[in-house]
Amino acid sequence: MSEPVLAVEALHVAYGPIKAVRGCTLRLDAGETVAVVGANGAGKTTLLRALSNLLPHESGSVRYLGAPTERAGPHELARRGLFHIPEGRGTLGRLEVRENLRIAYDVRPADRSFEAALERVFERFPRLRERHDQLAGTLSGGEQQMLALARALINPPRVLLVDEPSLGLAPALVEEAFAVLGEFHAEGIAILLVEQNVYSALRLAQRGYVLRQGEIVMEGPSAKLLADAEMLKHYLG
Ligand SMILES: Nc1ncnc2c1ncn2[C@@H]1O[C@H](COP(=O)(O)OP(=O)(O)O)[C@@H](O)[C@H]1O
Ligand SMILES: [Mg+2]
């Protein structure tokens, strides 16, 4: 079996005495979409933040493209193609849409110019073109999520970590956000999606992990997890 793009082994993350991630082992293969689902407080955000080295690891190992990440800062990982859309979207509210995209573009060396990259993004998100000089903080929730996704797409990453893209969105907009993730998948980007919106996430993903109180309690192909509705409910309730 070839090396996964992201390989996590027995990862522990704590906030002082609070053990938020307890021995998680998971992997993301090239081009896969994998969902990590769990109730509020299960440790999903902590896990993603630890994978980006935004939080220190108590123990365990994380390998990205075959190499340990322990010495790389979050910026370095982003530069190497590990892009994280944080909970709450991570857009900069006091900057214009275009400036938000510029900052995302500047994180990583790219073949195409910013203008060319921007044009490609605006073709996909015409709404953002219309609002290119608007302050991001004045966009609607759905538009802000599109901006967050556009920031990832401006310079397509190897791996996209995305934290609850559905949070706070109306159902139609959730569907739209998931459709965009489906397009990223079709472009070959590996996606690790953490969600409370279990069913939408598992329908998008090929595989899933169920996180409960910091531990992975179920894993497998999405279809298999979805078929085990009783267990899912038990762990997510
Ligand atoms: N900054 C923090 N300090 C202390 N405890 C935290 C902090 N952030 C999260 N926690 C705790 O860690 C656990 C996991 O939280 P989190 O990763 O945010 O879960 P999720 O994203 O699945 O809702 C929860 O018990 C939460 O209260
Ligand atoms: Mg969270």
- Ligand 1 proximity of 182 Cβ (cutoff 6 Å): no
- Select from 11, 12, 13, 15 the residue to mutate for testing ligand 1; criterion: most ligand atoms less than 8 Å from CB: 15
- Ligand 1 proximity of 38 Cβ (cutoff 6 Å): yes
Write out the H or E segment, with its range, that includes residue 231: helix 229-236
The residue with tokens 């689902």 is 37
Angle of helix 114-124 versus helix 97-106 axis, rounded to 10:
120
pLDDT at 76: 95
Domains in the chain (CATH in brackets) are 6-89+158-236 (3.40.50.300)
Q: What is the pLDDT along the chain (237 residues), one digit of tens a residue?
A: 678 999 999 999 999 999 999 999 999 999 999 999 999 999 999 999 999 999 999 999 999 999 999 999 999 999 999 999 999 898 999 999 999 999 999 998 788 999 999 999 999 999 999 999 999 999 999 999 999 999 999 999 999 999 999 998 989 899 999 999 999 999 999 999 999 999 999 999 999 999 999 999 999 999 999 999 888 888 887
Strand 6-15, strand 59-64: pairing: antiparallel
The residue ranges of DSSP E strands in 101-170, in sequence order, are: 159-163
| 65 CB-contact burial (10 Å; exposed 0-12 / middle 13-18 / buried 19+) | middle
Q: Which residues pair with 96 in a beta bridge?
A: 135
Say if CB 226 and CB 203 are below 8 A apart. yes
| 94 CB-contact burial (10 Å; exposed 0-12 / middle 13-18 / buried 19+) | exposed
Q: What separation in Å is there between the alpha carbon of 194 and the centre of ligand 2?
A: 8
Question: Rounded distance, CA 105 to CA 222, Å?
Answer: 33
User: What is the residue with the minimal CA distance to atom 18 of ligand 1?
Assistant: 45
pLDDT at 218: 96
Q: What separation in Å is there between the alpha carbon of 161 and the centre of ligand 1?
A: 17
pLDDT at 2: 79
CA distances from 21 to 59, 67, 159 (A): 10, 22, 21
- Select from 12, 45, 217 the residue to mutate for testing ligand 1; criterion: most ligand atoms less than 8 Å from CB: 45
User: What is the residue with the minimal CA distance to atom 5 of ligand 1?
Assistant: 15
- Ligand 1 proximity of 55 Cβ (cutoff 6 Å): no
Residue 157 DSSP SS3 = coil
Q: What separation in Å is there between the alpha carbon of 11 and the centre of ligand 1?
A: 15
Say if CB 6 and CB 62 are below 8 A apart. yes
DSSP-assigned letters across all residues of 68-92: E-TT--HHHHHHTTEEEE-TT----
In this structure, what token pair is assigned to residue 5? Answer: 């793009």
Question: Rounded distance, CA 230 to CA 141, Å?
Answer: 33
pLDDT at 1: 61
Nearest one of 18, 28, 38, 14 to 62, comparing CA atoms: 28
Altogether, the residues listed in the chain come to a count of 237
